[in-house]
Amino acid sequence: MGSSSSPYLMTLLPLLLISVSVFTPQVIGCYSSIFSFGDSITDTGNLYISSHNRSFHFFFPPYGETYFHRPTGRCSDGRLIIDFIAEFLGLPHVRPYLELKSNLSAQNLDGGVNFAVIGATALDVAFLAAMGDHNEYTNSSLGTQLECFKEILPSLCNTSSDCNKLLSSSLILVGEIGGNDYNNPLRAGKSIELLVQTYVPLVIKVISSTIKELIDLGAVTLLVPGNFPIGCLPIYLTKFQTSDETNYYNAMMHFYHSPYQYGFMGGTTKACCGGGGPYNYNSSAQCGSLKATACENPAQFINWDGMHLTEAAYSWIAKALLKGKYTIPSISTLCVSEV
């Protein structure tokens, strides 16, 4: 249990173009709660709870079949990276903000709060709409999620020393976020050049300012994952018909290079659940719709639905993150867990 001084910002998959290990405050032992911001990689039910009448395909079986045995609003067959992190830390699965918000107190915080929403962008939705990128899922961008966090904070702590105590003993996940800022324009046919020149610097800026604000509020340990190697995803392979593999990142790349070693017999680029085609991804027959079918054993696949990964893949990423060498420093050196 350390009083050692170490960089507390970690990257799972390199955060696009950001060097994040420049701050070096004190890190204290293990974590009593997790606060999380992000999108469909991390949402454990916020969009599900808020989408009363909307029937997105990921709200239907076989989503959730593996662990929860029902759809939970998670974009996978089972648990997500955040669920495995919580389990590793001996905490309950982090519940969605919308489930907790009406009755939140320091007493029933119970492991933390998850603000992530499927479809969320780093950039403000009104700004993106002005660029022609419309968000069909949510208005809850990173900034909105941060506002929600600041709104609930007074019900969790009153004095600044109280709040510092709470936040410094919490693990804060900032992301993955930003993927949708790129997905939407890419799908609409905007060029990579435009993305790199215009979107990327803005996304980095908003993530950085969010990190700064969280630190100002008292956050000490922030995990800032980079974007996934989206070029490997069936949705992009289907759209761009390319298998360019020059541009992909750390933890996940092990699966793609040695899939059999991890039990991924289903291949690296084909989705488990989908509506056919070379990558089993068809935007007119998405997983969860009646036109799609799922593989027998999702644990043999890296990709679940064309966009998101299987529980098995997320479990490996979480392991790499918690015990491996993909965070600097590794979480296990910060946290001597009894689990």
Q: Tokens 């170490």 correspond to what residue?
A: 6
Helix (H) or strand (E) holding 161: helix 160-168
Rg (CA), the chain: 19
- How far apart, in whole angstroms, are the C-alpha atoms of residue 98 and residue 96? 5
- Longest CA–CA span in the chain (Å) reads 57
Stretch that binds ligand NAG, among 12-20, 77-85, 205-213, 279-287 (CB under 6 A): 279-287
Nearest CA-CA partner of 122 in 36, 220, 199: 199
Residue nearest to ligand NAG (CB): 108
Euclidean distance between CA atoms 42 and 80, whole angstroms: 7
Query: Using CB under 6 A, which of 285, 329, 330, 332 touches ligand NAG?
Result: 285
Shortest spacing between CB 108 and ligand NAG, in angstroms: 3
Considering only the stretches 93-101, 152-160, 172-180, 295-303, report the one whose residues sit in contact with ligand NAG under the rule CB under 6 A. Answer: 152-160
Q: In this chain, which stretch among 177-185, 209-217, 273-281, 298-306 interacts with ligand NAG, using CB under 6 A?
A: 273-281
CB of 25 to ligand NAG, least distance (A): 24
- 303, 233 contact by CB (below 8 A): yes
* Pairing mode of beta strands 221-223, 33-37: unpaired
Shorter beta-carbon distance to ligand NAG: residue 139 or 330: 139
What is the pattern of x (binds ligand NAG, CB under 6 A) and - over residues 108-137? x----------------------------x
Residue 3 lies near ligand NAG (rule: CB under 6 A): no
52 binds ligand NAG (CB under 6 A): yes
Angstrom distance (rounded) from CA 37 to CA 190:
26
Closest CA to 82 of 45, 121, 136, 29: 45
Query: Among all residues, which ones are annotated catalytic?
Result: 40, 305, 308
Among 158, 160, 191, 198, binds ligand NAG (CB under 6 A): 158
Please give the residue ranges that form the binding site for ligand NAG (CB under 6 A). Answer: 52-53, 103, 105-108, 137-139, 155-158, 275-277, 282, 284-285, 291
